[in-house]
Structure 1
Amino acid sequence: MSANVTVRGSDDVTASEPAAAVEASEAVAGGVLGPVGRDRTVAVVGTGTMGQGIAQVALVAGHPVRLYDSAPGRAEEAVAALTARLDRLVEKGRLDATAREAAVGRLYAAQDLGELADAALVVEAIVELLPVKQQLFADLEKVVGDDTVLATNTSSLSVTAIAGGLRLPGRFVGLHFFNPAPLLPLVEVVSGFATEPDVATRAYETVKGWGKTPVRCADTPGFIVNRVARPFYAEALRVFEEGAADPATIDAALRECGGFKMGPFELTDLIGQDVNEAVTRSVWESFHQDPKFTPSLAQRRLVESGRLGRKTGQGWFSYAEGAERPEPHTAAPAPAPERIVVRGDLGPAEPLVGLFEAAGIAVRRKKGDGGYIKLPCGGELSLADGESSFEYHKEEILYFDLALDYAAASRIVLSAREGVDPEVLAEAVGLFQALGKKVSVIGDVPGMIVARTVAMLADVAADAVDRGVATAEDVDTAMRLGVNYPAGPLEWAGKVGYRRTCGLLSELHSRYANGRYAPGIGLMRRGYAEEAGDSR
């Protein structure tokens, strides 16, 4: 199961036929097969949520679609369910009645695999068990033609391993759709070790013709999205385990400051704690227990207790009838200082200067290294850099977190050591409240919440690119579309600055010397190139 979700129903999809699908053909261009033509049959094996969603996408694009399920009666039930979905699309004005009738006429429930013999593309969406998938494709290979493209929708198994026993493994490819398939645009086109380039291209062009946004990736654990997304959950859990903030406050920081659609605690409750933890553990084990992917003990305990999220009524939050969601910590109103001094360049937080001035706060600029904000009572505010306040016990140093967009952010997060001067803390809180922001004060945790999350996402993303998993563009596209990130990790790190991002991780590594935060060579290389003025 994909670790990606939406709260909208799978019927909420525009059923227009993209031009690429209308013009899809079997034409050979430059020796590479084009997309599977609309007149060719697409078969889907497995009629669960993903199977039905993939079938709907192919059907609306104009293909004859055959559904097969090994459980008696399931294919017929899926045909009825898809017909009902098309009816709802007509009711919503997203599909006209004539197109609906034509689509229903192209939909067919197959009784056995032999009825899939003429399919040009077979997509499997069955249980995530390697031996079961291997047996299915071995059986399919005896039925379909040698030119049929065979595809798996697996999100966690090796595409190479599934195809390992096939007579023609070169025509096998991964097509990882995201749930719900009719709505979410991303499809990871995964090339196994033996996948022929022309086959991957044909699969890519086919799903592109269906109106999807495909990205190419190599067959590695987690592919792109489930690999790169791990720090989004892991860093939030780490901050929680250190006692720096509660789940509601961490979620609010990533939503209202970081710009993410959902926080990691509410998202894992929606996905299912068991599912999310299993994906994390699978990636960690596949990478030989790399500390960057270490699972959370707190999440393990949650799973062991049976608190799996919404589906059990209790996860990080309660979903019992009438249960109130915990509110994030929000500081009480405090007076804003009349004036501040900004020393040096605040880097990605530089837009705050204009916001302070617009709020009527007098700002005096001073040259100097290491940008920070000097408060009237003597305290200093710095953008999270991987250090912590307790290290400056003779000075009143506070940190504020990274924001995607300081003007748009509705919440600012501060961290302070225990025993910080109350006057300093009040001035810092009041300063950001003067901008109309809510303010959360968390414990003194290095790197805070958004800053360390973005840095780790960028580090894992850069490593994936440099290891040939996917291009930087495809990684950023996958994370925006697959898990709805507000920006691609490498795009975001580029705006923050690769050197600054590496510096934050280096500071974290010096404080947590287990290898988890050691910046990878890929991120370091980009940092040095940035410093040298190399725009590549």
Structure 2
Amino acid sequence: MANDTSLQSFNKIGVVGMGTMGRGIAQLTAEAGLNVVLFDVHAEATREAVTYISTRWQRQVEKGRMTEDQRQQNGQRLIQATELTDLANCDVVIEAVAEKLALKQSLFRELEGIVGSQTVLATNTSSFSVTEIASACHLPERVIGLHFFNPVPLMKIIEVIPGLRTAADVLARALTLGKMMGHFTAQTTDTPGFLVNHAGRAFSTEALRIIGEGATDPATIDRIMVDQGGFRMGPFMLLDLIGLDVSHAVMESIYQQFYQEPRCRPSPLTRQRLAANLLGRKTHEGFYRYGDSGVEVPPEPAIADAPPRPVWVSQEDLCAALALETLVEKAGWPLEKGATPSEQALCLLTPLGEDATHCAHRQGLNARQCVAIDTFAGLDKRRSLMVTPITDAAVAQAAQALLHHDGTPVSTLNDSTGFVLQRMVACIVNIGAEIAQQRIAAPATIDRAVELGLGYPLGPLRLGDHYGGERVLTILNNLQSATGDPRYRASLWLKRRVMLGVDLTTDEGLNYGEQQ
């Protein structure tokens, strides 16, 4: 296609498919000041979409978020089409039809006979290759991915995905359109899951793996990730919100498209729950139950009081040891300072990517006296402890009472390599690093897209810098050593930056394309 700067202007945008995503895209387009032609094979769906969008604008007027004049102007930009040929004069046509490859290819072939040669054909696909969709077209260079997120007006991100044949000026126009819509445009390559869905693999799959190992329950993992990790929502609450029918399909699809990449491996638990129709909120039961009053979260186990006893703290990690010793002193419990603990001592270990058993054995300690404490994110908002398979019950009770002395919530785990937060964060960072290594997107784009698209407190590379790349690498190496699972093999991006002592956000000076 010709490289013409006049192509940067847009007069009319077409949207095909008036489901949830199509309605949202049409609303956003009109709010951006662009005329938008709405079409659906079912004429009633188009009329309902206009009514739905108009109602939303009216509510914004009532809440003072939009003026009456703005509402009327937006409404005048919505153009109902009765035939696909009504899109003939559109500068860009965005398809938001059902997620079926043959349907999308057929639609684009039909559109090629209607629209002009300079019209951009954009797909909102979330799972198919843009290149494969474009392969059915006579002009594949005009096809690009514009992946919006639900709800479209509120999720301030659009993934812009050029296929292998997409022309440079088409990419430029797509980036301009995204900017006009007021959304962050995350340019990414045409790979499975693109950027955001790819980056999100660790959050759910690693949580399911922890459950599968019998380390703890879904509610405990969610509490740890929210309280200790600072995430808006835990992985199991999120799976219930999205619906397991959707989430499981995405997990399976990305895993298979990457030819069984272990980092993206799903869990058999979701297939079983899918068969049982435990989909989440939509079926009123998933990992949680949902009643008339909302989600039913099981109460946290009560923590019983225990008499103070001597406490010995491992000195392997001096910063972690200092934090625990300060806690012990504030609680008023006696602190042992010797190189080895007495037989009566409660022994506190601070493993990084190890389980309590291995940590105790490596230090030559009696595992019956030992509990492991996760100091990875500090000890302020929630404290996680882990027992060995033979930790004495009185020792475990004493550890719980000590950690809870000031009222801070405490989560107790069965022995697990890497606790919960450590391994979850390490896997999130590792997949983000691998996305950067594969040049799927620029480091800054990866972080911003994940923050906007997934709601993480920090993007994966910034998250790694926050906790320390060296500590994340240690966790991954210990996980892989303990399990033998290539799922935990560290990305070369991570290894190299730790070796060089630089931030994980440090790119290699390559041109990834300008990000808006």
* 1:398 alignment partner AA: V
Per-residue CA deviation, residues 454-511 of structure 1 (Å, 9 max, x unaligned), is 1111111111111110111111111111010011111111222222212211111122
- For 2:92, which of 121, 139, 156 is the aligned residue? 121
Measure, in 1, the Cα distance between the counterparts of 2:334 and 2:447: 37
Which string of whole-angstrom CA distances, capped at 9 and with x for unpartnered residues, describes residues 101-154 of structure 1?
A: 111111111011111111112111110000100011111111112222221111
Provide the identity percentage.
Answer: 36
CA distance in 1, matches of 2:451, 2:342: 36
Q: CA deviation at 1:214?
A: 1.4
- Separation in 2 of the partners of 1:375 and 1:439? 25
**Equivalent position of 1:24 in the other structure:** none
Deviation at 1:297, TM superposition (A): 0.9
Counterpart in the other structure of 1:8: none
After TM superposition, list the pairs within 5 Å mapping 1:196-235 onto structure 2: 196-235=167-206
Residue 254 of structure 1 aligns to a residue in which SS? helix
Alpha-carbon separation, structure 2, partners of 1:86 and 1:374? 70
Q: SS at 2:55's partner residue? A: helix
CA distance in 2, matches of 1:441, 1:315: 23
Confirm or deny: 8 A CA contact 2:230 2:457 kept in the other structure: yes
Deviations along 1:170-206, whole A, 9 cap, x unmatched?
A: 2221111111001111111112111223322221222
Question: Structure 1 residue 352: deviation in Å?
Answer: 4.0
Aligned to 1:381: 349
1:319 aligns with 2:290: yes
Indicate whether 1:484 and 2:455 are aligned.
yes
User: Residue 23 of structure 1 corresponds to which residue in structure 2?
Assistant: none
* Aligned CA distance change for structure 1 residues 341 and 504 (closer, same or farther; 3 Å): closer
Q: Deviations over 1:29-72 (max 9, x none)?
A: x97567544xx111111101111111111111111111000123
The secondary structure found in structure 1 opposite 2:43 is coil
Q: Select the residue among 333, 352, 371 that pairs with 1:398.
A: 371
- Report if the CA contact (8 A) 1:55-1:65 is conserved: yes
Deviations 1:249-284 (CA, angstroms, capped at 9, x unpaired):
111111111111111111111111111010000011
Is 1:193 the counterpart of 2:161 in the alignment? no
User: How much does 1:388 deviate?
Assistant: 3.5
Residue identity matched to 1:229: G
Letter in structure 1 aligned against 2:485: N
Query: Is residue 312–residue 346 contact of structure 2 (8 Å, CA) maintained in 1?
Result: no
Q: Any idea what the Cα deviations from partners look like across 1:315-365, whole Å, max 9, x if unmatched?
A: 112224468432244533556779876736556x58946974995769999
The alpha-carbon deviation at position 412 of structure 1 amounts to 1.6
RMSD between aligned alpha carbons? Answer: 3.2
SS of 1:190's equivalent? strand
Task: Give me the whole-angstrom Cα distance separating, in 2, the residues matched to 1:54 and 1:340.
Answer: 60
Match of 2:74 in 1: 103
Match of 1:518 in 2: 489
Amino acid at match of 2:374: D
Question: Helix, strand or coil: the match of 2:290?
Answer: coil
- Tell whether the 8 Å contact from 1:52 to 1:82 is kept in structure 2 after alignment: yes
Counterpart of 2:480 (choices 509, 515, 518) is 509
Q: CA offsets per residue over residues 409-446 of structure 1, 9 Å max, x none?
A: 2x221111123134543443344324542001010010
Change (3 A) 1:456 1:363: farther
Alpha-carbon distance change, 99 to 336 in structure 1, aligned in 2, over 3 angstroms: farther
Residue of structure 1 equivalent to 2:412: 441
Residue in 2 aligned with 1:331?
303
Counterparts in 2 of 1:391-430, with a 5 A limit?
Answer: 392=360, 394-395=366-367, 396-401=369-374, 404=377, 406-407=379-380, 409=381, 411-430=382-401
SS state of the match for residue 67, structure 1? Answer: strand
Structure-2 change in CA distance of 1:397 and 1:209 (3 Å): farther
Going from structure 1 to structure 2, the CA distance change for 1:391 and 1:351 (only over 3 Å counts) comes to closer
Consecutive unaligned residues in structure 2, runs of 5 or more: 508-516
User: Where does residue 7 of structure 1 map in the other structure?
Assistant: none
Tell me the distance in 1 between the aligned counterparts of 2:31 and 2:348.
Answer: 59
Classify the secondary structure of the residue corresponding to 2:286: coil
Unaligned runs of 5+ in 1: 1-27
Distance 2:87 2:145 in 1: 19
Kept in 2, the 8 Å contact 1:380–1:398? The answer is yes
- The code of the aligned residue for 1:433 comes to H
1:223 deviates by: 0.7
Q: Distance in 2 between matches of 1:533 and 1:242?
A: 30
- Tell me the distance in 2 between the aligned counterparts of 1:310 and 1:220: 30
CA–CA distance in 1 between the matches of 2:278 and 2:493? 38
Tell me the amino acid that sits aligned with residue 189 of structure 2: A
Residue of structure 2 in register with 1:308 after alignment: 279
Distance in 2, Cα, partners of 1:399 & 1:97? 60
CA deviation map 1:388-418 (0-9, x unaligned)? 32563534443233655644x2x22111112
**Conserved 8 A contact 2:353-2:475:** yes
Q: Deviations over 1:225-265 (max 9, x none)?
A: 11111111111111111111111111111111111111111
- What CA distance in whole angstroms lies between the structure 1 residues aligned with 2:292 and 2:243? 19
CA contact 2:126–2:147 (8 Å) conserved in 1? yes
Contact 1:381 1:397 in 2 (8 A): yes
Rounded to whole Å, the distance in 1 between the matches of 2:30 and 2:237 is 34
Partners of 1:374 and 1:321 in 2: CA distance:
54
Report how far residue 221 of structure 1 moved: 0.3
Separation in 2, partners of 1:314, 1:184: 26
96-105 or 199-208, larger mean C-alpha shift: 199-208
Deviation at 1:376, TM superposition (A): 9.0
Alpha-carbon distance change, 332 to 108 in structure 1, aligned in 2, over 3 angstroms: farther
Q: Decide which structure has greater helix share.
A: 2
Paired letter, 1:188:
E
Who is 1:173 aligned against?
Answer: 144
Q: Describe the SS at the equivalent of 2:175.
A: helix
Distance 1:436 1:374 in 2: 28
* Aligned partner letter, 1:389: T
Determine helix, strand or coil for the equivalent of 2:486.
coil
Contact 1:340–1:362 (CA<8 Å) still a contact in 2? no
Determine helix, strand or coil for the equivalent of 1:437: coil
Over 3 Å counting, the alpha-carbon distance change for 1:366 and 1:173 in structure 2 is farther
TM-score scaled to structure 2, two decimals?
0.88
The change in CA–CA distance for 1:84 and 1:528 in structure 2 (over 3 A counts) is: same
Q: Which residue of 2 aligns with 1:81?
A: 52
**Residue aligned with 2:289, SS:** coil
Is residue 325–residue 335 contact of structure 2 (8 Å, CA) maintained in 1? no
Do the aligned partners of 2:145 and 2:161 also contact (CA within 8 Å) in 1?
yes
